[in-house]
A and B are shown apart, each in its own frame.
Chain A
Amino acid sequence: MVRFGTIARAHWGRVVDAVASLGFDAIDIPLVWREHEVGPGTFDFEQGTRALDEMLTLARGAGLGTIVRVGPVCSDEAPAMGLPERIVRDVACQARTPRGNTVWVPDPPRIMPWPSIASEAYGREASAWVTAACQAIARSDPDGTLVSRVIVGHGPHPTFRNDPEHHPDEGPDPALTFAMRLADAANAAGIARDRVTISITGGLQIAPCARTLATTNALALASPHPSSGTMAVWRAVQHGGASTRLHGLHWDVWCGGPVFHPPMRGAHAVEAARVAVLAGAESVTVRMACAGSRWIGAILGETGGRRAHSALWADWNAWAGDMAIGEDIAADLVEPQELVRAARDDASIDPLPTPFAAFLGWTAGQIASDDVAVAGSKSLAAAESSLAGAERSLRAAGLPVRRVSAGAEGPLAWRCGDSTAGFTRRATAALESVALDVDPRDAAIVRAMICGERAELIVLNHTASPVRVRPHAEGWRRGDDIVEPGTTVELAGGESLRLHRPAAEVRVPSADAVIASRTKRRPAVRRRSAARPPKDGAQ
C-alpha cells in the first residue's frame, strides 16, 4: 500500500520504482475521503497529491497492477479516520450510547464521535463518496485493465466499531446493509461486481455479516497484529479462506502501523506475513510500503528510500511467489453462527470495539462474558472451551485442522456437542495420508492441500523451541529429495517445512470416506465404551 496523498509528488516516481524493485506486483492505493473532498459533496481526483490518473499511470509504467480502496474508512493513520470534519460533526451521522450520548472512539491523539453505520445520513454521504471515487476510477481506467480490485467498506481500522448500537435509524443487521449499499454504489458507478471487494472490520470470526457478504463479493480482511502470535494469524487466515471460497479473499498484513499500534520490528512483521501466506493468504497487501506521514515503520522512508528491513520484504516476495495455491484438506471445527452473534451482542469488552479484539487475535468466544447461552452448548465459555480442546487434540495428532464458520465446513467436520476423542479418531483415519508425528505434540501446525496434480504438506513450528516431525505416509518429497521412511525433520523455532507428492497418492476425505471411516472405527469405540462409557455420550 502506498499513501500517495501524503507523499510529495516529486517523490512518487521514486516510490513506485522502489516498490517494483522489491518484487511487488501491484500497488494498493487508498483514496482518503477527507483528502479528496474540496467542498461539501465536491470531490477532486486530479490536482496535486489527489491525481489518481498519475498514480495509475506511474504504476503501469513500472509494470505494476493496482488495487484502489475508497473506504469510507480505509487508512488507519489518516486524521478522523479519513472522514471529512463535516461528517464527523454532523449529529445525524453520529452513533449513540443507550442513554443517547455520543459514542466517542479513539482517533489518536484525540477522540472523535463515531459515525453510525445505521445512520441514514451517514449511509447517504458515504454512498455519495464511494460513487464519486468509483466514477473517477472508471474514468481513469475505462476498460478495467489497470485496477484489478476496488475495495469498499470500513476497515481495517481496529478502533472502528460495528457493534450493535442505538442510533434511531437502526434496522436489522446495519453492518450488512451498509456494506451492501456501498458495494451497490461502486457497481452503479461503473465498477463491475467481480471487481468490487468488501472490506470487513475485524476477522471473519468476529463479523457476523461477513458470511453473507462472501456469497456475493470477494472480501478484504486484515491479519491480526504480529504480536498476537503465529497461531492467531494462522487461525484467522485459515478461517477466512475456508469461508470465502466463492469469490475469494484479500488480506492485509502489517508492516508498521500508526502510532497507536504496538511497535513492531521489521523482521517480526515479515515473519507474520510469511505465516499468513503459509496459511493460505493468496492476495496480500503489505500495509504499508510507503506513507508520507503518521505511519511508523513502512518498508520505505517517506521519500521512497529503502529502509533496513526492505531486503527482508524482497526475500518474502520471492519466497511467496513460489507458494502453491490449492484446495485445503482439513478437519473442520465449525463455529456456530450464533456463537459469533451471541459473543458480539454480549461482548464483555464493550464499549471497546470488537474489531480491536480481532486485531489482538481473539476468537469470538474470548470477547464475551462466559455465561452467555449458545445453542448446542451450555454456555459460550463451554462452546469456546470445546472448540479449543478439539483444535488442540487434532493438532496434537499431527492433522491439518481449521476453524470455519457454520456452512463453510468440508465433509470432515466437528460441531459443538460432538465427541472430541471420537472425531479425532475419525479424522486420523480419514487424513492418514497427510498426518505427521510431531514432537513435542501440538508444537507444529499442519496444512495439506491439493494443487492440481500435486499435493502439498506445509508444517510450521509455531513455538520458539525445536520441533521434530515425521510424515506417517511414505513418498513425500522435500524439493527433489524423497523423505525416507522413518526420517525425522527438525524445525527450528518459527521454521516451516514444505513437502509434496503426486495428488493421486493422497486420500482426500469425501462425505463417503468419512462415513466409511466412521463405520470402520465404530467397533473400536464400542469396545472402549464397554470398558468406560464416554462422558459426553457420543458414539
Chain B
Amino acid sequence: MIAHDVHIAGFAPRSWHRLVTLVAPGLVSRAPHEHLARESEPGGTLFVLYEGDRVQRAWHSHRGVIAIKGWPGADGVESLAAAHNARFVIAAETTALDEWSERVGGRLQLDDDAWTTTVVALDALRELADDGRVHVWPRLVPARVPMPNPAMLRTAFDLLLPDGKSALLMLFDDQALDTAVLVRRRGAAIDEVLGPEIIAHMTGALGGDHRRDHRHVRAAVEREHGPLAFGMFAETSRVHALLRTDEPAAWAMAMAARDVVFDPMPAWLTLAAGAGVVRAVARGSGALLGRTRMFQSIAPALAIARSAIERVRGTPVTQLLGGLQPLTVLAGVLRRTTPRDSPAHDEPTP
C-alpha cells in the first residue's frame, strides 16, 4: 500500500498538523506548558492493562498514568469509561500483548506486502478480542463483519488508486489553502506523498475558492506531476462536519451543492455517493431528503447508483462497502471527538 522507502516532502509543521488532526483530533499539538491543562478536559482514550481482577497499569491520554483499583471485566468497560471521563477504552490482559507479538512474529515473513502484514496483525488482534483478552469500547465494527483478505484489499486499492495515478486532497480555510496532500501510486504501492509547499509550487497562486480553483489545480498538477485518479476540494470545516455525520446521504448532498468538489470524479465515487443515498432512503431518511430541493439534484445519481450496484453486486468492492465501511467506522470515531482548530498565524512569516 505504501512503499517502505516512500518519498514524503513539502509539509510545514502547520499543514501536516491540519492534515493529521482532520482524522485524529486527539493528536493535536500542544505547547509543553499546556500539558497540565489537558488533564481537566473531558474525553480522551483510556488504556488499561489488567491481570485477573487487578489493573496493572492504566494510562489516560489526557491525564497520563492513573490509578484504577480493579478490573471490572468486559461488562464494566463502559462504566470504567464513564468513571474516568474517557470517550474510548482499549483494555488488554498483560499477557495479551506478548501473545499478539508471538502470533504476529510466527506468521509474518519479511517479504509479505503491506496488505498481508496488516491483515495478519489485525487477525491476531481479532483472535485475542474473540478470546476476551482484548477489549475495545465502544464497539465500532460490527461483530460479524468478516476480515477482508489481502486479495480483496489489493483489488479495492487497484480500483481506488490505479497504478501510475495520483490522488489529491486540497482543503481551504478563510480563502487560503489550509492543507493539501498529493499521493502517487507507482507499481504496487504509494511511492510519493507531497505536501502543500510542493503542490503550491505546481499550481502557483490560488484564489482560495475551491469551487473555482479546482480546474486550474487539476490542470497544473496533471501537467507537472501526472494523471489524477481523483481530486477532492473543499473547505476544511465542511470536511470536519462530513467526517462526523451519520447521515448516509450527506456526502452526496455536499457534492450536489458543490461544498465538496471532486475533480476528476471516478466511477467508484459516484457509486459510493449513490450508495449513501440508497442507504438514506432505505433507513427512512428519504423523507428528509424529499423535503429538500437538494434531493432533486441527486435523484439521477440515486438511479445510476441503484443500477450500478445491481451490476457490481458480489464483487470485492461491494463486499467491502456492504461489510466493513471505513468511512462509517471513521465517522463513528470522530463523532465522539471535537474538531481542533489550529490558529493560523501563531508562527511568524519568514
Contact = CB atoms under 8 A, between A and B. Distances in A.
Indicate whether A and B interact: yes
Contact of A263 (B29, B31, B117, B121): B29
Q: Describe B's contact surface by its main secondary structure.
A: mixed
Contacts of A256: 13, 16
B31 A101 contact: no
A308 B2 contact: no
B347 A308 contact: yes
Interface in A273-322: 275, 292-297, 301-302, 306-312
A99 B103 CA distance: 10
Given A265-B29, A266-B347, A309-B347, A349 B12 contact: no
B134 to A, nearest CB: 14
Contacts of A262: 27, 29
A350 interface: yes
B94 interface: yes
Given A231-B35, A297-B12, A464-B37, A348 B105 contact: no
Interface in B98-128: 98, 100-102, 104-106, 108, 110, 114, 117, 121
Nearest to B19: A263
Contact of B101 (A227, A263, A351): A351
Contacts of A368: 57
Contacts of A311: 347-348, 350
Nearest to B39: A229
A102 B105 contact: yes
A266 B36 contact: no
Interface in A178-217: none
Interface stretch (B3-11, B139-147, B152-160, B169-177): B3-11
A233 interface: yes
Interface residues of B, number: 57
Nearest to B20: A263
B168 to A, nearest CB: 18
B75 to A, nearest CB: 23
Nearest to B1: A109
A226 interface: yes
B203 interface: no
B37 A463 contact: yes
Given A109-B1, A265-B17, A369-B94, A101 B349 contact: no
B4 A296 contact: no
Given A263-B17, A265-B14, A271-B31, 17 more contacts: A79-B5, A80-B4, A88-B110, A101-B101, A101-B106, A109-B3, A109-B6, A259-B8, A267-B346, A267-B347, A302-B10, A307-B350, A308-B347, A309-B347, A312-B347, A369-B51, A494-B34
Interface of B: 1-14, 16-17, 20-21, 27-37, 49, 51, 54, 56-57, 64-65, 94, 97-98, 100-102, 104-106, 108, 110, 114, 117, 121, 197, 342, 346-350
15 contacts: A109-B114, A110-B114, A110-B117, A112-B110, A227-B29, A263-B17, A265-B31, A266-B14, A268-B30, A296-B16, A312-B348, A351-B100, A352-B97, A362-B65, A494-B34
